[in-house]
Chain A
C-alpha cells in the first residue's frame, strides 16, 4: 500500500521564492525512504506541507490512498504523521514528560496527572528502545537525547509515518549509528520513515528507496541499491560535483591572532570555554571542527566583540583586544561572516545596497562628515553585484527577497571586501546551493592567498578538510585535538575527537598556540 502520494505540489512563499515547482513524491508503507537534494532544493518545504505547517499553493496529497487536506500539524497528527524537525521543537523549561504529553495531558480532577505522564513516557521509552529521563528539564539535556524526545513525541501520538528532517546534522558519526539502529527497528515494526538528508553515505546505508529533488522539482525515485553515491549526486546538482577545490600550499606570514587561556562562563553559569589557546598567521586557514554547541559560537562571538565577560588573552597583531566591542574590532580590521545570515548577517528589509555598506558607511566615498551619498552607495552596490554575481534586478531590492545563496553572497561580498587582516568565517556555506558554496570556498582560498588570516568554523567536516591548513577540534569548550596539516585525515578520525572518544595529549594541543 502507498503510505504517501504527493502530486504536482507547488509552493510559493510570501517573499516570492518558489520552493516547490510541481513535485511528485511517493512512499510505500513500511519502507525507509530517503528524500535527498542540496540545500534549497525544496525538501524541507515539501515535508512542512505534508505536516501541515505550510499550505501548498497547488497540488494534491493522498495518505494511505485517500485524498486529504492537511491544514495544520493537528490534522497531520490525526492522520498518523509525525515529524522530527531539524531544529528541535521543545519547550526548554519543561520536563521531558511535560514536553511529551503536551496537548494530550492525562488528568486528575482539574490538574495534570504528572505520575501518569511519567508512566506514559517510561512505557513508550521501553517499547521503542529510546531511553530518556522523564523528570529532567529539557534545557540541560544533550542533543542526542533531545532528538529521542522528539521521536517519542511522535510515537506516543500514534504516528505511522515518521518524517526526520536532517536528523544527523547535529549528531556525531557515533550518535548517528545509534539513531540508525533505532530507525531500522521502527521500520521492522511497520513504521514508514521519511529520511531527509544530503549526506549520501547515510542515505545508502539506511534507506530502501531514494527520491532526488533538484531546484524544486523531482528528478526521480530509485531503489537505493541500484544507484551509487555518484549517480545520486549527479542528479542532485545536475553535473559532476567538483569535489576537490584547488588549495595551493599556504605561505603563512607573521602571527595575526593569538588566543591564550580563554575561559568563558555563560549567563546560566555553565563553563563553555576552557583554557582555549591557539594562534593564527596571515595567509593560512585554521579550521575549527566540532559538533555544534561545544563552544564554537561563544568563541566566535567573543573574538568579534559580540559577547563579553571572557577571561584570558586575545591579541590581534600583538595588541590585547579582549573585551572590545564590534565597533572597535571592525575598525581594527576584523571581518566576520556570521553563522546566521538572517539574524545577524543582513537586514532583510533593507536593500542590497544598504546591506553592502553597513561596516563602511561612515567612510569615503559613501559619506563625508555628517552626510551620506546614496548615489555613491548605489554605484558601489552595482559593482559588487556584478563581481559576486548576485542574482537580482536592482541594488534597491530588499535582501529578504533573495534566495539563501544570493543572500549569503551579499554577506560575503561585504566581508571579503572589508580589507580585513583577520576574517572569521562561521559556517560560511550553511544552507546554500552547491554553486554558491563552491564560489564562497574558492573566495576563501583567494583571500587567504592575499595574506588574510582566516579562522574557519564549520560543522561540515568536508568543508573543514577541503579548506583548512591546520585544524583544531573542540569538545565541551576545550581544544581536544590539533592537526598541523590535514593530509590523510578522515572525517571518521575527526569524529572520534569531536565526540571526546580520542584526545591528543597536552603537548600536542599546545602546538596550536606555539608557532
Chain B
C-alpha cells in the first residue's frame, strides 16, 4: 500500500500521465475535428495503427525519424481521405466503413510486417528511430514542476499545443464556422452555396492528420517498435474522451487527461504486482463508467432545468 501511495504521489507519476495521455489526446482531437462537421470517425483506431507502422518502417529504411513521422502521418491522411471517399461519394454507412478501415489496417499492417521482416508479432528486429525529447529551458530547472512538464517527447508538446490551435480554428476562422454549420445544419450550409461534401472531406482530412500524429507517437516515442494491433483501443478511447468534452478542444483535453490518469494508475498498480491482465482492463472499465455518468448527468441536467422552472 505504501508503495502505491508513494508511486502515485511522485513527479514521475504525473509525468507519465502526460505521456500516456498524448496518443489519446490526438485521437480525441481527431474525433473532435470530424464530429464538428457531423461525421463520427470510427476509423481513428486504424489510421493510428497505419501511421505507427509506416513511421517505423520508413524511419528504419531512411534512417530519419522525421521522414518516418511524415510517412506515418501521410498514410493516416490517405486513409482518412479514402474513408471520406467511401462515405461521401459511394455513400457507405460511416460507422461500418470505419469498422472496415480498422479491420483493413489491422490486417494490412500484419501482412506487410511479415512481408518486410518475416515476423508477425513486432518490428523489434528492425532498427527504427524515435523522435526526440525536449527539455524546456527555465521550466526544467524548477523542482517537481520541471520533472513533470519538461523532458517530454516532441509530439507530446505538439498534442497540447494542438488543443489551442484546434479551438481557435473551430471557433474563430471562416473554415471553422463552415465546419460547424455543416455539422449543425448541412442544409443551411448548402443553401448559401457551401459544398457540404468538400467541408466534410476537409474535416476528415484534419481528423486523419491528428490520428496520424497519435499513431506515430505510439511507435516512435512511446516505444521504439511496431507491434501488432499496438493501438489497443486508444482510438476508441479518444472517441469516448471527445464525447465527454463536447464540441470543445479543451473539453477533449480534460477528457483525455482523465483517461491518461486511469492508464497511468494501472501501470502503477502493475508495479506492485497486480496482474497485468487485470490492470489492463481498468482504463476500459473507467471509460464505460465515465460514459454512463456523463450520459446520466446530461439527462439529469435536463430534468433539473425543468423542475426549477416548475418551482418558479
Contact = CB atoms under 8 A, between A and B. Distances in A.
In the complex, is A directly touching B at CB under 8 Å?
yes
A73 B174 CA distance: 19
Interface string B177-210: 1101100110111111111000000000000000
A112 B174 contact: yes
Contact of B192 (A93, A110, A157): A157
Nearest to A150: B191
Given A153-B191, A265-B310, A94 B305 contact: no
A269 interface: yes
A89 B193 contact: no
A372 to B, nearest CB: 29
A268 B301 CA distance: 11
A141 to B, nearest CB: 14
Interface in A89-137: 89-94, 98-99, 102-105, 107, 110-112
A93 B306 contact: no
Contacts of B308: 269
Given A102-B188, A269-B309, A74 B177 contact: no
Interface stretch (A77-85, A220-228, A336-344, A449-457): A77-85
Interface of B: 168, 172-174, 177-178, 180-181, 184-185, 187-195, 302-303, 305-306, 308-310
A188 to B, nearest CB: 26
Interface string A293-337: 000000000000000010100000000000000000000000000
A73 B305 contact: no
The interface size bin for chain A is: 35 or more
Contacts of B187: 85, 87, 89
Given A92-B184, A103-B178, A105-B177, A265 B192 contact: no
Given A74-B195, A83-B191, A153-B192, A92 B181 contact: no
Contacts of B193: 72-74, 76-78, 103, 157
A261 to B, nearest CB: 13
B192 A77 contact: yes
A103 B172 contact: no
A73 B190 contact: yes
A271 interface: yes
A91 B305 contact: no
11 contacts: A73-B190, A89-B190, A91-B181, A93-B180, A93-B184, A98-B177, A102-B188, A103-B194, A105-B174, A265-B309, A269-B309
Contacts of A153: 191-192
A107 B178 CA distance: 14
Contacts of B174: 105, 107, 112
A487 interface: no
A265 B306 contact: yes
Nearest to B173: A110
Contacts of B306: 265, 267, 269, 309
Interface in A260-277: 265, 267-269, 271
A361 to B, nearest CB: 28
A246 B193 CA distance: 49
A53 interface: yes
Contacts of B168: 110
Q: Chain B CB within 10 Å — which of A76, A92, A105 has the most?
A: A105
Given A53-B190, A89-B185, A89-B187, A112 B177 contact: yes
A99 B191 contact: no
Nearest to A88: B188
Interface of A: 53, 72-74, 76-78, 83, 85, 87, 89-94, 98-99, 102-105, 107, 110-112, 153, 157, 265, 267-269, 271, 309, 311
A83 B172 CA distance: 28
Contacts of B184: 91-94
B188 A99 contact: yes
B188 A89 contact: yes
Nearest to A90: B188
Given A90-B185, A269-B309, A271-B309, A102 B172 contact: no
A102 B309 contact: no
A377 B185 CA distance: 40
A440 B174 CA distance: 49
Contact of B188 (A91, A107, A269, A271): A91
Nearest to A87: B187
B191 A91 contact: no
Given A73-B191, A111-B172, A112-B173, A269 B305 contact: yes
A267 B308 CA distance: 11
A93 B171 CA distance: 12
A77 B190 CA distance: 11
B185 A102 contact: no
B206 to A, nearest CB: 15
Q: Chain A CB within 10 Å — which of B185, B188, B192, B308 has the most?
A: B192
A111 B171 CA distance: 9
Nearest to A110: B173
A102 B194 contact: yes
A253 B114 CA distance: 83
A212 B195 CA distance: 33
B173 A111 contact: yes
A102 B181 CA distance: 8
Contacts of A85: 187, 191
